Chains A and B, each alone.
Chain A
Amino acid sequence: MGPLAQPAGSQRTNDSTPTSRLEMTGINVAFGGVLALTDVSLTVEPGQVHGLIGPNGAGKTTLFNVACGLVRPSSGRIAWRGEEMRRLKPSKLTSLGIARTLQGVGLFPGMTVLENVMIGAHRHARAGFFSALLALPTSDKDERLLRERAMRALVELGAGEYAGRYPGSLPYPVQKRVALARALVSEPDLLLLDEPASGLSEDEMHELGDLIRSVVGRMSVLLVEHHMDLVMRVCDRITVLDSGKQIAAGTPAEVQNDPAVTEAYLGDAVDADADAAELTHAEGGRPHA
């Protein structure tokens, strides 16, 4: 996985970066009577990697899905680039400059690797729907540019040689790289990574870490991940969830030394009252991120 040397064909300057801030404030999500998230707030600062961690069932994926419109919060405010998004729809994500990867890989099985990545660059195609359908000359040129852009993204992630293959015939780590190329090819301002390291070896995880650090000049990243060493290495800030509540937030060092976090992860068998007291203490002691 080579570093992404330059912003692939992008004219974008840094002036779009300062505004690309994702703010989620006071998010509540209830599935039926079950509270999946209670008053969670999280801000992904421009050009930063924000980690979202917590034990299984803590609500990480739910919060993630709120950020991309798959789950609608029962209350709370989501703002992207300073504008509140009331009706965030998944189909609008790419046009907002947000890309996400999926748990697993989510590649289209019957399409080649290159075609998969081309779909990711879809929003950059200029020709309208009908000229594309009728294969008018503008669309032809478009098509070629799309193909080139997708190929470049694959090469940057070291998967260029697999362009003509079908995803099912490739090893899992390569599939993950392709999925990442598909997210990066849209040149998002915010990249949502859902457990990108699952199924990767130690070395591959290290490369992934380098890659994530190398893209932050161009975009902010929200990272949901189990592997602590990766999270601690690449994140600028971390939010820790447990049972749908935010129990800690801060820099990796701060979070690591937070007793509430240790407790949530080690599952300390204290009685419920003490547990609640600890939680209150932890929440009171730290300002929201």
Chain B
Amino acid sequence: MDYFVNVTLTGLTQGMIYAAFALALVLIWRSTRIVNFAQGSMAAATTFIALALIQAGASYWVALIVALASGFVLGAIVERVIIRPVEGGPELNAVIVTLGLFVAIQAGIAIIFGSSFQSFPTPFGVRGFEVGDTTIPLTPTSLYIIGSVLIVMALLVALFRFTRVGLAMRASAFSQEVARLLGVKVGGMLTLGWGLAAVVGSLSGLLIAGGTFVWPAYMDALIVFGFVAAIIGGLDSPVGAIVGGLILGLALSYVSGYAPRGSALVNISALVILIVVLLVRPGGLFSSTTARRA
């Protein structure tokens, strides 16, 4: 029983990180209909910025804030400078550009920060809390991960639901042309959307790095899981991305915890889950809801 709870909690924690990454993809897909393959290496870049600060003596929290802020700036710059010129052309162009960017940023990280393995600190312990004399399998680190992702998600919901800027961003996502006619500065909304998405992506990168090693390609596994989570959820639904992330996190944790030689099966099971979901519901789990609304 303890083992089951432990595996479940691990799955939920990992799932939250996948959910954050998937959410970053969904935010960009909704606003610009571009699948941002560069999301992973953009997040890696900000994690390395945080690492450089920490190695220079800054506290984890300062590094976290600087990393998230630089994620915003990086996302905004990428949209303005690299994506804007190819937008409006054939859809594939922008996707190929983000793929190129993915490779370029990863190479840039290796050039600037080196390609060796470096350990990334975590602000909290990984020992479970003690209740009486039993240790429950809930660690401060997993609480931190779950909590920080939840806070970011709540802030995003508040932004989109209750602010004028959020309203304008949603309008731009539904129809750029109509929004423009109504006086919305669509270009600014797209830049802001990319910036925010990059913040969420950066958070997932920082969280997955905590307590382990980072190297320029350390995000590769998360990129795959994040994509799978986003597609499970339907790529168009923020709620879907979160649910997809949690489903994937739990499923992968059970596979690695219970299946024989489970840890070797994790990557394959992610793809199996993806294929099954796409066979049963080609639009993703949350597609029908959006279709009905539309």
Contact yes or no, A91 B164, CB < 8 A = no
Interface pick from B4-12, B62-70, B180-188, B258-266? B180-188
Query: Looking at chain B, what size class is its interface with the partner chain?
Result: 20 to 34
* Secondary structure call for the A interface: helix
A162 proximal to B (CB < 8 A): no
Residues of A close to B186: CB separation below 8 A: 91
- The closest CB in chain B to the CB of A95 belongs to B183
- The closest CB in chain A to the CB of B188 belongs to A129
Contact yes or no, A168 B164, CB < 8 A = no
- The closest CB in chain B to the CB of A169 belongs to B293
Residues of A close to B192: CB separation below 8 A: 133
Contact yes or no, B181 A111, CB < 8 A = no
Interface pick from B99-107, B112-120, B168-176, B273-281? B168-176
* Secondary structure call for the B interface: helix
A-B pairs with beta carbons under 8 A, tally: 85
Residues of B close to A109: CB separation below 8 A: 174, 293-294
- The closest CB in chain B to the CB of A89 belongs to B180
- The closest CB in chain A to the CB of B164 belongs to A132
B291 to chain A, nearest CB (A): 10
Contact yes or no, A133 B159, CB < 8 A = yes
Contact yes or no, A90 B170, CB < 8 A = no
Contact yes or no, A119 B167, CB < 8 A = yes
Residues of B close to A115: CB separation below 8 A: 167, 170
Q: Give the docked Cα–Cα distance between A106 and B181 (Å).
A: 11
Residues of A close to B294: CB separation below 8 A: 109-110, 168
If A91-B186, A108-B171, A133-B163 are given as contacts, then 18 extra A-B residue pairs at C-beta distance below 8 Å, sorted by A number, are A68-B181, A91-B184, A94-B182, A102-B181, A106-B175, A109-B174, A109-B294, A110-B294, A115-B170, A119-B168, A123-B183, A127-B164, A129-B188, A143-B162, A168-B293, A168-B294, A182-B182, A186-B183
Please list 23 pairs of residues, one from A and one from B, whose beta carbons are closer than 8 Å in the complex, sorted by A's number.
A90-B181, A91-B181, A93-B181, A94-B182, A102-B181, A108-B175, A109-B294, A110-B290, A111-B171, A115-B167, A119-B168, A119-B171, A122-B164, A122-B167, A132-B164, A133-B163, A133-B165, A135-B158, A143-B162, A143-B163, A168-B292, A168-B294, A186-B182
